[in-house]
Every structure is written in C-alpha cells, then in structure tokens.
Amino acid sequence: MKFSNFIFTAAENPADDHRIINEVLNEARLCDELGMYALWLGEHHFDGICAYVDPVSFAAALATATKNIKIGFAVAQMSLHHPIRMAEQMSLIDNISDGRLIVGLGRGTAYNIYDYQGYGIDPDEAQARLLESEEIMIKAWTTENMVHKGQFWDIRLPMLRPRPFTQPHPYMIRACSGEESMLGMAREGRPFMMNVQSNEVTKHRMDLYRKTMKESGYDDDHIARNVDECWVWRNVFVADTDEEAAEIGIPAFERQIEFRGAMRKRIYEEQGVTLAKTPVAGAAPVARAQVEHSLLYGSPETVAEKIAAIDDIGVGGIILTFRLGPMDYETTAKSIRLFMEKIAPKFN
C-alpha cells in the first residue's frame, strides 16, 4: 500500500495566498522527509479552492524543494492546456526531478463552469480535447518530425526539447470519475485514479476493473501490476484520540465542502449556468460530501483500521488530503507525522 498527500489547499481570502502557498511548500518538504511516496497537485482556478492554482508551475517548485518524493497531478485539466506546451513543461520537470514526475491527466473539472469560462473553452469539448492532447503529447515525446492534424490542433514539430529524462516518456495515468471511463482504462490495460467513493463502490469498481481486464485478454501478472498502480482518494485527519479528531477534523471537512461549492452557487445565481447534475429525487448525497465515506478520522489505531478496510479491497495506493478546509499548518503537520510514524509502517 502506497501513501500520498493530495495537496489541495484552499485560500479563502486573497490576502492569505502568499502565506498558504509557502506553507504548502513546507508541507511538501515534510512529506518528503517522512518518506511519503508521492505528492499530488490539483488544478482549479479563480476561486481559492486550490491556492497555488497552476499545478505545472508548482510542480517545478516542488521538484527543487524536495529530493525523493514523486510529484504528480490529480489532475491537470487538459482541456485548459496546449498539448505541445504541456509536453515541453512535463519534459522539463521530468528532467529537474530526475524522473519523479507522474503526469496525471483529466478532461477538466466536472463541477466548476467558471474554470472553462475563464479560459474560453466549451466544457462539452473537454473529453475530446483530453484524448487528442494525450495522443499529441506521446507523439511529441517519442518521435521526430511529428505531423498531427486533428479536431483541435494542426501541428508540425521537428523535435521536442528537452527530451524526457524518463524513457520513452514520463509516466502517465488518467483520472476516471465515472464507471464507464474506468472500464475504458481496463480495456486499454492502463491503471487509473478513482475519485472519492464509498468503500462499497470502490470494491465494486476494482472488482469490475479486474474482471474487464481479464475479459480483454490481459494475463494475471499484467492485471496485478495495473492494480498496484491504481489509486483511490480519501480525506484524512489523525489526532491523539478519536474525540480530538472528530472535534477538529469534522468541522474542517464540512467547511471544505461548503467553500468548494460557494463559487459554484454564486455563478449559478448570477448567470443561471452550472455543470452540476440535477440530483435524483431521494438519492443519497455524493460520497465526496459525506463524512462517513470521504473522511478517515480518529486516533492512529482507528485510522489504521479504516486504511486496512481499503487495503483489503486491493488497490495500489491511497491519495490522502491532509489539510482540510481552514485547518492551519501546525495542525496539519501533526496529523501527517502521526500518520507516517504510527500508521504507514503497519502497511509496509
């Protein structure tokens, strides 16, 4: 079981941007010192949900601020990036980090219409842009005298420089928010990242992923290797006692959910537009908004039991968000230390 930190830190007020961005750098250094496997960066714009905003620039900073930890995206919104520019940037960071880069790609946010509006991109084009971008990036990394004519880009490229440090190209993984996109990765024999789901849904999808790979002709070794590279996402807060964890962690998580939806609500009230799907009558709230399914909290012993339940499902690693909502750096750092010193060793 691999453990990682999804650095998805909010700055609720513009005046906090500088302080929080620098605290995030310290959080990354701490995770590196404690031997965590990876850091993940998100991408959201214009609302403070993701304080550093641009995961590409921030990944370059982390590549120089850390020594051993892998640096990944969960995810870069490819509909907002030019694929050649992205390929160059990824190749550069791959060189700076000596191959510690994980290129995690997604089509773009499924929640915030204003991300697309700010870049002048039609959200209905997001999936098609992702697929074409991924094809272009791989060609750029691996071929010379590249010519591409597609739906969105017409490109002629003699050779991309710098060449990637990792050959034939930096490691890539796709995020899958829905079951159908996950099945597509299974049929292609590729690992994937799963968003926050209940343990029940996580087990269902992982079982279906293995079954679909088997039916697609992949042998047991290939399936096992892929499962070892699949990631699931949860929020986490560790304290000395269950009571302390509940007292601090639950309100911070609830504020996080509230803040992430605030700009979405404002845009809907001002413009009448949204990406949010109309809830089905009587349906339960989505897993990412429920403490029961989204937040692992408690003493080290309690959180270890919750991690073990996910480990029993069979996944390669867990993407953990440690800093929740308005939580301060010192509280977050203590939670990270407790996790890495008292929980992680149980699963090594």
Domain that holds residue 289: 2-347
253 CA to centre of own chain: 17
> What residues have CB less than 8 Å from 201, skipping those under 6 apart?
287
User: How many structural domains is the chain composed of?
Assistant: 1
Q: Report DSSP state, residue 347.
A: G
Give the tens place of pLDDT for each residue, 181-228: 999 999 999 999 999 999 999 999 999 999 999 999 999 999 999 999
Interval 146-159: pLDDT, tens: 999 999 999 999 99
Give the C-alpha separation, 164 to 88, whole Å. Answer: 9
Question: Could you tell me what percent of the chain has a pLDDT over 70?
Answer: 99
The mean pLDDT of 16-44, rounded to a whole number, is 98
Dist CA 62 CA 71 (whole Å): 7
- The answer to whether the predicted template modeling score (pTM) of the entire model surpasses 0.95 is yes
pLDDT tens-digit map of 278-309: 766 666 789 999 999 999 999 999 999 999 99
Per-residue pLDDT tens over the stretch 215-224: 999 999 999 9
**What b-and-e string marks burial along 232-248, b requiring 16 or more CB atoms within 10 Å of the CB?**
bbbbbbbbeeeeebbeb
CATH of the domain at 165: 3.20.20.30
Contacts of 312 (CB under 8 A, 6+ apart): none
- Count of Cβ atoms closer than 10 Å to residue 231 Cβ: 24
Angle, to 10 degrees, between the axis of helix 220-227 and the axis of helix 199-215? Answer: 150
